[in-house]
Amino acid sequence: MIRWLERASMYALNFYSPMVADQLRTGRKSATIRLGDKSGKYRKGMIVQVLCGNRYSPRERIFDAVIDKVEVKTLGELSPREIEHDNPELRRVDELARFLGQIYNRDVEADDVVTLIRFSQILSGPVAPTFLGENDLF
């Protein structure tokens, strides 16, 4: 029963900034780096709604996504490429530490634990073809 409820639940990755919504729509943002260990909440293969909006306010659904990778490490262990997937304007750990410090309203250091969550947008594909039986006419 718990497994069914787990699958039936809807999960979300929420972003607060309207600037992020544009980065998501254009494919420039394909990851999020969250402070702390979030591996218990997000797992590879999960389907999530990617949302933009403030807490306790209406949110815009940007797209559905599949989580490709969840990796827990220290901020200092992140590569410039991993940082860029989260924020296309940044490449360095110190820049990301300042950025996260503004979001979380506290000092963030290179030895703080973070969770890197990589995701891919789910596109609506073509409808599956209908196969005609031998008695069906075109």
- Tokens 């969840």, located at residue: 70
Q: Where are the beta strands (DSSP E) in the chain?
A: 11-15, 31-35, 47-52, 60-74, 113-121
Give backbone dihedrals phi and psi of 6, rounded to 5 degrees, phi first.
-60, -45
Range of the structural domain that residue 110 is part of: 8-121
Specify if 80 maps to a domain.
yes
Q: How far apart are CA 117 and CA 114, in angstroms?
A: 10
Report if residue 126 sits inside a domain: no
27 in a structural domain: yes
Report the domain count for the chain.
1
Which backbone phi and psi does 40 adopt, to 5 degrees? -75, -20
Instruction: Classify residue 76: in a domain, yes or no.
Output: yes
Residue 131 lies in a domain: no
Tell me the pLDDT tens digit for each residue of 100-134: 999 899 999 999 999 999 999 999 866 556 555 55
* pTM of the entire predicted model: 0.82
Give the rounded distance of the alpha carbon of 38 from its chain centre: 12
pLDDT digits (tens, 9 = 90+) for 39-62: 999 999 999 999 999 989 999 999
Q: What is the pLDDT of residues 56-95, one digit of tens each?
A: 999 999 999 999 999 999 999 999 999 999 999 999 999 9
CATH of residue 96's domain is 3.10.400.10
